Amino acid sequence: MDGILIIDKPQGMTSHDVINALRRKYGQKKFGHTGTLDPEATGVLVVLCGKATKALQFLTDTDKTYIAQFELGKRTDTDDIWGNVIETKPVRTDFDLNEVLQSFVGPLHQKVPMTSNKRYKGRKLLEYQRKGVTVPDVYQDVTVYSVQALNDDTFRIHCSSGTYVRSICRDLGEKTGNAACMKSLRRVQVGRFTIDQAQTIEEEPKLYSMAQVLDHLPKIEPEDCQPVYQGKRLYLDREEPLVCIYENGEPIAVYEKEAPRQYHSKRGLW
């Protein structure tokens, strides 16, 4: 099975659990995904199957959209309600939620949750946390494109890949004089793929082809594809940094520009 599956990840499963379930169901090993979802989060998980795993590095539209709910009055060591409570405070409601949310829009130097797979000196932060080892705060640069309040404790956020919505909920608390953590999270879009396209693991698969995933790259279909299969350079009158080579309507390789009119093979897809 080769192509892309859009899975609606259920609560209580890790992204790796989903991959393992698909391996058992379809009897093949080659599966990968484009972005981890926390175990208690639900929603869109883009899964690449078979040959499509070779196209992972060329997926450029990986921005995410989430619907998140937060809880005021407590802060936890995981920045969500499933962690240990480390602070409680009386709830303050004397703020305009939409106004506070707009302060997150734009480039953001975000403090990463300690319960995460981000690394410090080669080890995951959650490994330090489990052992009770204190390490300096870790930050990463992300972008929030838009955010809007849906009701008093829920918001919709469109952000770059790598954004921790748990951190947004935590920081929202700090900005409003509250202790806060995330209460629920649902990913409703990854790039061009939406929750309306998502299926459960149990449903019959609806596969999206590699051609659909790579259609953002210029399409080149040479008369003779033998040099492509041999990994040879191609001389093309193009300006784009990356092009996708097709044979009989199917993508077979991605080529990268290395000099004027000269491209080398970046990745074979057969």
11-14 long-range Cβ contacts below 8 angstroms, 24+ apart = 11/39, 11/40, 11/41, 11/42, 12/39, 12/40, 13/39, 14/39
Look at residues 231, 183, 236 and name the one whose alpha carbon lies nearest to residue 70. Answer: 183
Catalytic residue flag (residue 38):
yes
**Could you identify the residue written with the tokens 């748990």?**
166
Q: From CA 199, how far away is CA 217, in angstroms rounded?
A: 27
Cβ atoms of 45 and 15 within 8 Å: the answer is: yes
CA distances from 59 to 62, 73, 190, 235 (A): 7, 40, 11, 24
The active-site residue out of 2, 8, 17, 38 is 38
Q: From CA 102, how far away is CA 28, in angstroms rounded?
A: 45
Q: Which residues contact 24 (CB under 8 A, 6 or more apart)?
A: none
Residues marked active site are found at 38
